Amino acid sequence: MKPKPAPAAAGAPDPYFPTSGDHRYRVHRYELVVDYRPGPNRLAGSARLTAVADIALAEFALDLAEFRIGRVLVDGKAARYTHRGGKLRVRPAKALAAGAAFTVEVHYTGNPRPVRSPWGGLGWEELSEGALVASQPVGAPSWFPCNDRPADKASYQLSVTTPSPFTVVASGRLLTRTTRASSTTWVYEQSAPTSPYLVTVSIGPYRPVPLTERPAAPQAGYVPQTGFVPERLAADFARDFARQPAMMSYFGEAFGPYPFGEYAVVVADEELDVPVEAQGVATFGTNHLGGGWERERLIAHELAHQWFGNSVSIADWRHIWLNEGFAKYAEWLWSEHAGGPAAAVHAAAAHRLLAGLPQDLRLADPGRRLMFDDRLYQRGGLAVHALRRALGDEAFFAMLRDWTAVHRHGVVGTEDLLAHAARYTAVPLGPLFEAWLHRPELPPLPG
């Protein structure tokens, strides 16, 4: 199938986060320049956004935490603004016409801190040595002004200056690294369309650990894979992540070609509750080293998100099961492929677990309170397994590869998957999706 372009980000506000983002315009590109001093946790930044107005705009809004604003320019001219409650509201000197391209430039300084949420702090997190960013779902404004909607995907250039002993890892390809006096500037380019919450930075005393060797000649399917870890953990990381290149190869066969140019893994020198995916990067804690299936499945899960969630992104947070259900099922597929328990065995265990828990979750619209509930992950994996059983393996994997190709770097919702999957069978799938996605009661175990 021929890939189609990513759909526009226009639409209604996100029902789970109605105050996040501004659906009246779309950002095409961010150019971020950040100077960060880890000791005092001080950030000075400038952001230049290139955007298009979907309707005529006398004013528009950006999401940005409580930084001090230096100046705001629209198309190079000073603009009036107000900044409170995490919203930077901008009034250009001249109203923007519908369809007009425009640029907005924001200069800001302050002490970055996580955005408060029901799930704890989100976004920029200060570490004992350095910092990291984990923004899902609405933490991006903790460190840069943005249109914080998962559907508003843009390209990014990110320049980070920090003291020279630190390494900077960010979404995208490293373009340059320049040292002047005691500071080093790292410039990364992410050309693939990226949701704001999937832009990340890690700053720390990391050592690069290559997981792949660059071939002498161009090789189809080759993806550079590098770990960035504290020196004392380099050997542990090389051992525990040794099978990641094999995962990458298998997922490329099962899901279609890896959608980005490279893949980096950061191990922060602290314990983290869960690993966190970002565009082309995953961040783990020291507690995620140590080997064993529970840790290996997390490696598979975060890698699978590069296809499901990062390249193929959700239109709004109601559809989070599309990210987490497919990533959960990728764990089970890897186990099956690598000689461990088959996906059906994992599915049976998940079904037993869910059977003993409350039956009040609707997968296709779980509500904000339950969007990160573990039941969503398990039931999402089971729904994908049910679809595999209904289609059969040949049609199922063809459906997956076409899904990631048709919607590569695009935006989807649950109904898009239903329409797509229906093309691979003559059997009506409506009853299956109704039972698994829209009703809270747990259906029987598939197959």
Measure the CA–CA gap between 114 and 228, rounded to whole angstroms. Answer: 23
- In terms of DSSP H, where are the helices of 141-181? none
Give 434's contacts (C-beta < 8 A, 6+ positions apart). Answer: none
Contact 188, 170 (CB under 8 A): yes
* Strands of the sheet with 80-84, listed across from one edge: 60-63, 87-91, 80-84
Measure the CA–CA gap between 319 and 326, rounded to whole angstroms. Answer: 12
The two structure tokens encoding residue 7: 């759909």
Measure the CA–CA gap between 19 and 162, rounded to whole angstroms. Answer: 33
Contact 427, 390 (CB under 8 A): yes
Is 377 an active-site residue?
yes
DSSP H or E stretch at residue 69: strand 68-74
**324 assigned binding-site residue:** yes
Please tell me which residue in 16, 30, 81, 377 is annotated as part of the active site: 377
Give 377's contacts (C-beta < 8 A, 6+ positions apart). Answer: 324, 325, 327, 328
Contact 214, 243 (CB under 8 A): no
DSSP H or E stretch at residue 350: helix 343-355
**319 assigned binding-site residue:** no
Is 302 an active-site residue?
yes
Smallest Cα–Cα separation from 349: which of 378, 317, 374, 383? Answer: 378
3-state helix, strand, coil in the chain (%, to 5): 30, 30, 40
Please tell me which residue in 125, 189, 302, 331 is annotated as part of the active site: 302
Measure the CA–CA gap between 403 and 424, rounded to whole angstroms. Answer: 11
Smallest Cα–Cα separation from 412: which of 321, 328, 331, 327? Answer: 321
Which residues are known catalytic residues? 302, 377
Binding-site residues, in ranges, read 301, 305, 324
Binding-site residues for Zn(2+), in ranges, read 301, 305, 324
